Amino acid sequence: MTAEDLNAFFWRVNGLRYYPQSAYFRREFGAPVRKISVDAHFSCPNIDGTVGYGGCIFCDARSFSPGRRFGIEDIDAQIDDGIVQLRRRFDVDRFIAYFQPSTNTHAPVETLERVYRVALRRPEIVGLAIGTRPDAVGEPVLTLLEKLAREKWLVLELGLQSSKDESLRFINRGHDYACFVDAVARAKRHGLRLGAHLILGLPGETREDNLLTARRVAAMRFHSVKLHNLYVVRRAPLADMWRAGKVAIPTLEEYARLAADFLEVLPPDTVVERLAGEATDDFLIAPEWTAKKHAARNAIDQELRRRGSWQGKFFDPDWRDEN
């Protein structure tokens, strides 16, 4: 599908100016597909001392889709619960098991394969999404994922957040941008479908910093991206910093401009899985608009329409990173 075809598809079929995950799933599987958040109870190398302690300053893993699996230990039971909840809301019979909280490749490969196959053996599960960090994808893990990807649809989602090393140090990420580049290169050699997670509007970052990250991600030609706004949840180190006035959180209007900038340089065939983060009232401290469903999506759509723009408008396939 050409860029022109995709743009027509966005607008005429979806009424949108970007390529949403829902549209991709319909094209890939011929029917609606929904993700079920699964907690395999893995740790994180940036918490357990493997690479650091304390974790990222914005992170409280309990806040990631907590209502979908909170208090349920067994993976099969989590999937059962997720299917029931999603079928109540949507006309859907196919699901992706999304191993979401913590670092879902941070375990021996024997353990990983056993856990993943609990989901894969389910007839309702048409694929896996595995969220992890670039410093937790050694060759044995990638070899396993390559094997599983030959059996069913699979995407490996790598958290980057920013390509600016100063920002990565500030958020206590525990790795640098070079680590991410290396992980992407090795995963591509295994033929894996890749997603990237980004946070727009980190403290100290300029519009040019965000655009550089966007162009770098665009040049790597990811299957999908997830964009997140910076928000504050209880029990995360960022909460104390925000209360003390040490960090500023982008307004909805500021975030919409950053997201529109990002989408404009992204390839038109990159799937946009998410335009902003979500947190429930039980966890969220700020900003209030994060809890308002569709607020970010509507603001970003309005910003793109105001510009007369769309995903991929300024994508440059010949761009080279000279930084």
User: In the structure, what pLDDT confidence band is assigned to residue 6 with cuts at 50, 70 and 90?
Assistant: low
Of 139, 58, 80, residue with least CA distance to 105: 139
Question: Which whole number is the average pLDDT over 171-182?
Answer: 97
Distance separating alpha carbons of residues 84 and 6, to the nearest angstrom? 33
The residue whose two tokens read 């024997």 is: 110
Beta bridge partners of 284: 233
Greater pLDDT, 275 or 9: 275
What confidence score (pLDDT) does residue 69 get? 44
What confidence score (pLDDT) does residue 64 get? 47
Indicate the average pLDDT of the chain: 92
269, pLDDT greater than 90: yes
16, pLDDT greater than 90: no
Q: How many residues does the chain have?
A: 323
Percent of the chain whose predicted confidence (pLDDT) is above 70: 92
Question: What is the residue-wise DSSP string for 268-291?
Answer: TTSEEEESS----TTTEEE-GGGG
Distance separating alpha carbons of residues 64 and 322, to the nearest angstrom? 36
Domains and CATH numbers, the chain: 20-307 (3.20.20.70)
What confidence score (pLDDT) does residue 279 get? 81
- The amino acid present at 153, given as its one-letter code, is W
178, pLDDT greater than 90: yes
User: In the structure, what pLDDT confidence band is assigned to residue 3 with cuts at 50, 70 and 90?
Assistant: low
Would you say 79 and 126 are in contact if contact means Cβ atoms under 8 Å apart? Answer: no
Distance separating alpha carbons of residues 159 and 140, to the nearest angstrom? 19
What confidence score (pLDDT) does residue 15 get? 77
Greater pLDDT, 12 or 158: 158
Question: Which whole number is the average pLDDT over 238-259?
Answer: 94
* Residue 134: both structure tokens together: 């670039």
What confidence score (pLDDT) does residue 10 get? 60
3 state SS for 192-208: CEEEEEEEECCCCCCHH
Whole-angstrom CA distances from 261 to 70, 78, 251 are 35, 37, 15
- E strands, 105-221, where? 125-132, 153-161, 193-200
Express each pLDDT in 46-75 by its tens digit: 999 999 988 999 987 554 444 444 557 899
Greater pLDDT, 19 or 13: 19
Backbone angles phi, psi at 273, to 5 degrees: -75, -30
Express each pLDDT in 79-115 by its tens digit: 999 999 999 999 999 999 999 999 999 999 999 999 9
